[in-house]
Amino acid sequence: MRVYLYEMVSGGGALLPAAITAEDTGLADINDFHDVVTLISDGSQMLEQLVELFLLMPGVEVWVSVDSRLKQFGQQLKERTGADGNQPFVLYADPQTPWAVFEECCRGADWTLIVAPELGGLLEDACGRCVVSGGRLLGSGLKLRQLGIDKQRLHLWADNHDIPMPPWGIAEAGATNFNWSTSKTLVKPIQGTGGVGIRVVGDSLPPDGKWLLETIVPGIPVSVVANLTKEEAVLLPPCHQVLGGNGGYEYLSAELLEHEGHQQRAWELSRRVLDALPLDGSSGWIGLDLILGDNREEDFLIEINPRVTSTISVLSELESFVPDQWSRSTNLTELMSEAMSGK
């Protein structure tokens, strides 16, 4: 089985995020997103972790594309050795023609796993190009991606399915009907990624663009990964998220959530969300971001990540774990193999 692992920034598409403008995103502080050094560092680290994970799977041939300016990184990937003694096949992509190698690899692989920012339609563009070129996505189907990409669409869906999310509204051109309060309301880009562009509202609303307004709810920020197969959605151990950066809401790191009661509550809310989500056509990894309050009545869904998330750095290190609904241990390699086998 041949699997193509594509991480946009390190995989030849570094100029695509750089071309995103404030008009595309509504972000006044677009430079938060355009820190290319950070983007390449984070992207290459995630791609390296994915390569190591998929090389552990017997019978899997790993393909990756790497920006032609990152030859040293590409060579490091080539030197990785898998369970069968196999090594990844690395193709170098010209950043001036970022889709050429991408579409060729999508056509030649049995599965394509895409990691790309939701901002500016980048993730949806990559997924669409993969499908049109004849590829098969290992990831979220169209309806699920739409909920993960568009925060307004997600809130409307949650309202219709009785899924708890913080009170919300829309601000456009500095005006809103939402009852917001200084220092108690967040302003978020409608399409966001990694907490970029999220701010606490000050004395006034953003004067330009369309934004999501959301009441700040206190609690513990938690991420829960679900591995989707044809038969079920398996919930992995929850992780506590460490947030910070510009605005205080960007993802910095994660660690396993050790409190057993918090683990169970995170799984309970995640299962409720998954039971309502449109999962048709989806396989592999998705992430749910939650806030756990003082009790179950104060637990909220915050967003859905329709792709592999940064908590892979924690979960891929676990030799084994017992998922939410299982009585036996497993690991991430086994779960991803089941997602690709159609079990």
Q: What are the pLDDT digits (tens) for 273-329?
A: 999 999 999 999 999 999 999 999 999 999 999 999 889 989 999 999 999 988 899
Instruction: Express each pLDDT in 160-186 by its tens digit.
Output: 999 999 999 999 989 999 999 888 999
- Does residue 190 register a pLDDT over 50? yes
CA distance 149 to 143: 10
CA distance 163 to 302: 10
List the chain domain ranges: 2-138, 145-150+218-341, 168-215
User: Would you state the pLDDT for residue 196?
Assistant: 72
Instruction: Express each pLDDT in 192-219 by its tens digit.
Output: 776 777 889 988 898 888 899 999 999 9
Q: Determine the length of the chain.
A: 343
Instruction: Express each pLDDT in 96-133 by its tens digit.
Output: 898 999 999 999 999 999 999 887 788 999 999 999 99
Is the domain covering 145-150+218-341 a CATH 3.30.470.20 domain? yes
Say which residues have a Cβ less than 8 Å from residue 341's Cβ, sequence separation at least 6: none
Q: What is the DSSP letter of 215?
A: E
The yes-or-no answer to whether 2-138 and 145-150+218-341 have a common fold is no
Q: How far is CA 292 from CA 11, 216, 237, 301, 304, in A?
A: 36, 13, 15, 9, 15
Instruction: Express each pLDDT in 227-272 by its tens digit.
Output: 998 888 999 999 999 988 777 887 889 999 999 999 999 999 999 9
2-138 adopts what CATH topology? Rossmann fold (3.40.50)
Instruction: Express each pLDDT in 18-72 by its tens digit.
Output: 665 555 444 444 444 445 445 667 788 899 999 999 999 988 999 999 999 899 9
pLDDT confidence band for 84 (50 / 70 / 90): confident
CA distance 197 to 246: 8
Q: What is the pTM of this model?
A: 0.91
User: Would you state the pLDDT for residue 21?
Assistant: 55
User: Would you state the pLDDT for residue 202?
Assistant: 87
User: Would you state the pLDDT for residue 17?
Assistant: 63
Amino acid letter, residue 103: E
CA distance 70 to 39: 13
CA distance 22 to 24: 5
Q: How far is CA 231 from CA 3, 234, 343, in A?
A: 21, 10, 6
**SS3 for 301?**
strand
